[in-house]
Amino acid sequence: MKRFDCLGKIAKAASDALVVTSAGAVTLEWNALRPSDGNFRVRTLGLCSSIALGMALGLPQRKVIALDGDGSLLMNLCSLPTMARMEPKNLVHIVFDNEVYEASGSKQTATATGTDLVGIARAAGIRQALWTHSVDEFAGVAMEALNGHELFFIGAKVTTERTEVPPYPMDEVENKYRFIRHVEKTEKIAILKTNLPSSYT
Amino acid sequence: MKAEGAKAAHEAIVKAGINFIACLPDSAFQELYIPLSNDPRVTYVQVASENDGVGICMGAWLGGLKPALLVENTGFTLGSYALMRGPIAFGVPMLLLISHRGELGDERWFSVPFGWGTKPLLESMRISHRSIEKTEEVQDAVLGAAKSMNSLQAPVAILFSGGLLF
């Protein structure tokens, strides 16, 4: 199962969901399939699940998708009990498990030697935590999650194959501003406010 | 934490518009985090790691909330990775409310290395911060920090120290 094929199955259905992506090629592949200012690239291991959880709690009426990796989630396993405890019904946490640290030399992660991330998520208290084993099965479960109103954790064992796509077109700060302006516009809220000294007003 | 200081901090946090708290229960902040966890004006998220708490606060800000992380300085050091990779790199505001254990006079001798390390770590990370020791300083510090985190588009910190804690 290729990650790019899985992503392709949900790109349209994701609609206006806010999408937080982890380090590695998943960001580039997702952005090629669904270019949007509603994409937020974390670019490091560990924080994807936490940021997506906070975002989902901040915008409970908006679907939030975390596109995570095995190496990233292994660094932040303690986010899973918190996610289970808060149980945001608008969050879909997808983990593409290729069993390697893909961006840094492809050495095996612990999932290659038996660590079961879906098992950990389930044991942490996430009720809808399941593995998918084919692109069609992934698409079916992901559609159920995207159309539903329940916290989902979806595991997908994928190959290490990468798809050639363009590089990510911006740095962190630009990504933040574009993302925030997108949220402000689509949610009709104000997030960024500049404090002007009284002599300026 | 002394009850009077905790009450002042609670009131100032709400007055500053903070509406989201991520916290890892800390003995010094008991008098503050327990009432905050029961306050319907704030969303309270109890985390299992300060690193996770930084990420959750960052996501909450991106989702339109005004977040604060309430932690001991020991946990602040643990959260330094997430701070540098997350809110500092992206320029995301959040209020860091830190109990500054391990200063002179603190009976918890095992916190002393964190007493030494906290301010230099904040400075090396270029996090603007203020250390307070008296109840009278609390409101001004919290309101000022909440304003500055927005102006700076960055995390800012308040260290609750000495007379406020013990």
B33-78 pLDDT tens trace: 999 999 999 999 999 999 999 999 999 999 999 999 999 999 999 9
* Average pLDDT for chain A: 95
Q: Which residues have a Cβ under 8 Å from the Cβ of A200 and sit 6 or more positions away?
A: none
Report helix angle B50-62 to A172-187, nearest 10.
50
Residue A30 lies in a domain: yes
Between CA B89 and CA B94, with CA B90 as vertex, the angle to 5 degrees is 100
Residue A192 lies in a domain: no
Selected residues 17-76 of chain A with any CB under 8 Å from a CB in chain B:
20, 40, 42-44, 46-47, 49-59, 62, 76
In this structure, are residues B151 and A195 in contact, taking their beta carbons and an 8 Å threshold? yes
B108-155 pLDDT tens trace: 888 999 999 999 999 999 999 999 999 999 999 999 999 999 999 999
Distance from CA of A131 to the nearest CA of B (A): 24
Residue B166 lies in a domain: no
CA–CA dist B28, B49 (Å, integer): 17
Q: What is the CATH number of the domain that holds B9?
A: 3.40.50.970
Residue B8 has pLDDT above 90, yes or no: yes
Q: With an 8 Å Cβ cutoff, are A59 and B63 in contact?
A: yes
SS3 A166: coil
Residue B54 lies in a domain: yes
B-chain CB neighbours of A86 within 8 Å are 45
Find the length of chain B: 166
Range of the domain at A132: 3-187
Residue A129 lies in a domain: yes
Total number of domains constituting chain B: 1
Which pLDDT does position A200 carry in this prediction?
A: 81
Total number of domains constituting chain A: 1
A-chain CB neighbours of B52 within 8 Å are 50, 76, 78-79, 82
CA–CA dist A53, A73 (Å, integer): 13
Q: With an 8 Å Cβ cutoff, are B64 and A78 in contact?
A: no
Residue A196 lies in a domain: no
Residue A163 lies in a domain: yes
Residue A124 has pLDDT above 90, yes or no: yes
Q: With an 8 Å Cβ cutoff, are B60 and A46 in contact?
A: no
A8-49 pLDDT tens trace: 999 999 999 999 999 889 999 999 999 999 999 998 899 999
A182-191 pLDDT tens trace: 999 999 999 9
Q: What is the CATH number of the domain that holds A36?
A: 3.40.50.970
Assess A198–B contact: CB distance below 8 Å, yes or no. Answer: no
